[in-house]
Structure 1
Amino acid sequence: MRFLLCAVSLFVGFQHPAEAENVIVLNSADASVSLIDEATQKVVETLPVGKEPHHLMPTPDNQSLIVANSVANNLVFLDAKTGKVQRWLPDIEDPYQLGFSYDRKWFVTNGLRLDRVDIYHYDGKNFTLAKRVPLATMPSHMVFSADSKIVFVTLQVSGEVAAIDLATQTVLWKMPVGRSPAGLWLTPGDRYLLIGMTGADYVAVIDWRARKIVKTIHTDKGAHNFRSMVDGRHILVSNRVGSTISILDENTLTNVGTITGLLAGPDDMELTADKRYLWVTFRFTRYVGVIDMKTLKLVNTIKVGKSPHGIYFYNRAPLA
């Protein structure tokens, strides 16, 4: 982060009632965002954004939702409640994945097609580039250690996971983990690093301090991304090729259940604030699904744009 990026405001003519709270879905192949009324489960607006919006992240104050437009090379800030555009931030190159460290000092983007990770200082408003870290090949997902000292990044093509020291912006180590590693999750106390192996059918359990795979948890083909069930024990894994979602026990590191009967390519997931329903994007379709977590059944599908990816609720269930 050797230079300062200043926010550029842009009004795009989108109006929506200020009191409305919408579910926000990124349509990565349509360069758009679908806004869905949670109560009626109907799309109320489709908003154009930059090319290939893949992932999103709320700002630490939860007042804005950042959408990363990887091919457009910019970020767009939306009102976290309504989805209304607040401002644009240009010259963020290839922001495929993004995230804030827990101490709110660091903002990181993974450049999937540029084979690098960009690390920014964050002061609550501005993003100042600290360093661009070359990291081949195809840096994909990330997770931060609880002490905000390390960001772990999966490398899809080289089949590795890398650990980057945030204070020095240097790669501490890399280790091979398997075919097409994607989503990352740290178990309580940062004891183990879990990695969804999209090129296989399991989650790899890594003792990251010893840099050793200690176990694999069979899920289904294309184990990809994680979401907490917010019960202090269980997490969900979307299996993008098998079109299922696995339920894992974080304490025993075992697969304790499977959600079936889904559409093709489940990817990102969000729980409603009451934890009753799980919404999931189906990457290989034009639909978002709603799963009743009491019955583990798909109860509704909502048509959105092409290749829906990231999804966000303002009043979502917390991750921890």
Structure 2
Amino acid sequence: MRNSFPICLVRASAAGAAMIVAALSLSAPARANNVIVLNSGEATLSLIDQTTHQVVSTVPTGKEPHHLMATPDNASLIVANSVSNNLMFVDPKTGKPQRWVENIEDPYQVGFSPDKKWFVSTGLRLDRVDIYRYDGANISIAKRLPLAVMPSHIAFTNDSKTAFISLQVSGEVAAIDLATQTVKWKMKVGKVPAGLWMTPGDKYLLVGMTGADYVAVVDWQTQKIVKTIKTGNGAHNFRSLADGKHVVVSNRVASTISIIDEDALTNVGDITGLMPGPDDMELSADKRYLWVTFRFAKHIGIIDMTNRKLIQTIAVGRSPHGIYFFDRAPVTGPNGG
């Protein structure tokens, strides 16, 4: 295991730097409407012009970049390279690399607590959650916490006291006390839990069941499942529609997206006619268009939310996963990024 104290900023290797320089020669000028998509199977990111819907640049990353997260000041976008064991900080407007952070082992999913004091990384293949302190500039390890089996997605309470982690193989959700970096409890929720979402007021925790066809509604304070919401096979990840009322969940196996009313806790409609494997989603600033990555199709798609129709697909790299654009619609709740 690598030395975990301290985390340091380093330059890319000479070969990697040369690849990046070559890629950046094709980069578009700095614009706030560029979209960044991570191609997990190709170790690249695609930069797409949100207006023309054209791929304007492809930039090398580390191995298996799955998820991404903006820094609290939005000055950088963090790309988590799980197999390279590092973080790549890029300009969120241009996709240009800014710096690299090493000694982050197996960063599959990452997230900042709402108070911005904690940076959490799940190690999917290492069965571990790493909790880092964050002071606005530096990231330093607080604790490496064993947590089996296959910790994947993260959600936080608004008071930043608790982080929830889905455990895909053991079919559980774990609650972590961030102040003490200890596991408060674990509970069974179903087959292959993945995406997590807190409803308004932190009332319920929604859990996407990728091994089933529903979202589990968890009363996290009593550790009980109070309801299940039928969606589609492979219920996976969430994104707020930024209206304070609805959240969408991608159904990777059914190749649909379901719209959930957060108050009624019901499925109020499904978006169909999609390409295989919808996964991560992002909403345009005007809230009209939902962009989605299709993990199994080497494409992303654009959905017009006024009629809930897929209006365009754009070819990118292999296994597109995380997606982000700078001028996105606000995310309600603590699950931004």
* TM-score normalised by L of structure 2: 0.93
Name the stretch that deviates more: 13-22 or 90-99: 13-22
Distance 1:274 1:142, change over 3 A: same
2:232 maps to a residue whose letter is: D
Task: Please say if 1:189 is aligned against 2:195.
Answer: no
- Correspondence for 1:207: 219
SS in 2 for 1:312: strand
- Correspondence for 2:172: 160
Identity percentage over the alignment?
A: 68
Query: Pick from 138, 141, 144: which aligns with 2:156?
Result: 144
- Correspondence for 1:112: 124
Query: Pick from 133, 138, 141: which aligns with 2:145?
Result: 133
Deviation at 1:91, TM superposition (A): 1.3
- Total equivalences in the alignment: 320
| Contact residue 28 and residue 56 of structure 2 kept, 8 A | no
Deviation at 1:264, TM superposition (A): 0.2
Task: Please say if 1:248 is aligned against 2:248.
Answer: no
Distance 1:25 1:17, change over 3 A: closer
RMSD of Structure 2 on Structure 1 (CA): 1.1
Please list the CA deviations of residues 282-308 of structure 1 after superposition, one character each: whole Å capped at 9, or x if unmatched: 001100000001010000000000000
Query: Pick from 26, 31, 42: which aligns with 1:20?
Result: 31
Task: Please say if 1:258 is aligned against 2:270.
Answer: yes
- Correspondence for 1:232: 244
- Correspondence for 1:316: 328
Deviation at 1:3, TM superposition (A): 2.1
Deviation at 1:4, TM superposition (A): 2.1
CA–CA separation in structure 2 for the residues paired with 1:2 and 1:240: 35
| Contact residue 38 and residue 45 of structure 2 kept, 8 A | yes
Task: Please say if 1:298 is aligned against 2:310.
Answer: yes
1:305 maps to a residue whose letter is: G
1:126 maps to a residue whose letter is: N
- Correspondence for 1:53: 65
Query: Pick from 8, 18, 28: which aligns with 1:6?
Result: 8
CA–CA separation in structure 1 for the residues paired with 2:30 and 2:294: 28
Query: Pick from 90, 110, 122: which aligns with 2:102?
Result: 90
Please list the CA deviations of residues 145-191 of structure 1 after superposition, one character each: whole Å capped at 9, or x if unmatched: 10001100000000000000001000000000000000000011101
SS in 1 for 2:10: coil
Deviation at 1:9, TM superposition (A): 4.0
Name segments (4+ residues, structure 1) moved above 4 Å.
none
Name the stretch that deviates more: 282-291 or 6-15: 6-15
| Contact residue 2 and residue 131 of structure 1 kept, 8 A | no
CA–CA separation in structure 1 for the residues paired with 2:11 and 2:292: 31
CA–CA separation in structure 1 for the residues paired with 2:66 and 2:312: 23
- Correspondence for 2:335: none
1:19 maps to a residue whose letter is: A
| Contact residue 54 and residue 310 of structure 1 kept, 8 A | yes
Structure 1 unmatched ranges of 5 or more? none
SS in 1 for 2:153: strand
Deviation at 1:82, TM superposition (A): 0.9
CA–CA separation in structure 1 for the residues paired with 2:48 and 2:93: 11
2:51 maps to a residue whose letter is: A
| Contact residue 79 and residue 87 of structure 2 kept, 8 A | yes
| Contact residue 28 and residue 57 of structure 2 kept, 8 A | no
- Correspondence for 1:177: 189
| Contact residue 250 and residue 256 of structure 2 kept, 8 A | yes
* TM-score normalised by L of structure 1: 0.98
Query: Pick from 60, 74, 78: which aligns with 1:62?
Result: 74
SS in 2 for 1:4: coil
Please list the CA deviations of residues 45-66 of structure 1 after superposition, one character each: whole Å capped at 9, or x if unmatched: 1111101000000000011000
| Contact residue 299 and residue 316 of structure 2 kept, 8 A | yes
Deviation at 1:2, TM superposition (A): 6.7
2:310 maps to a residue whose letter is: L
- Correspondence for 1:223: 235
- Correspondence for 1:198: 210
Structure 2 unmatched ranges of 5 or more? 333-337
Deviation at 1:258, TM superposition (A): 0.6
SS in 2 for 1:5: coil
CA–CA separation in structure 1 for the residues paired with 2:8 and 2:84: 17
CA–CA separation in structure 2 for the residues paired with 1:286 and 1:18: 25
- Correspondence for 1:29: 41
CA–CA separation in structure 1 for the residues paired with 2:30 and 2:192: 42
Deviation at 1:18, TM superposition (A): 4.2
CA–CA separation in structure 1 for the residues paired with 2:127 and 2:162: 19
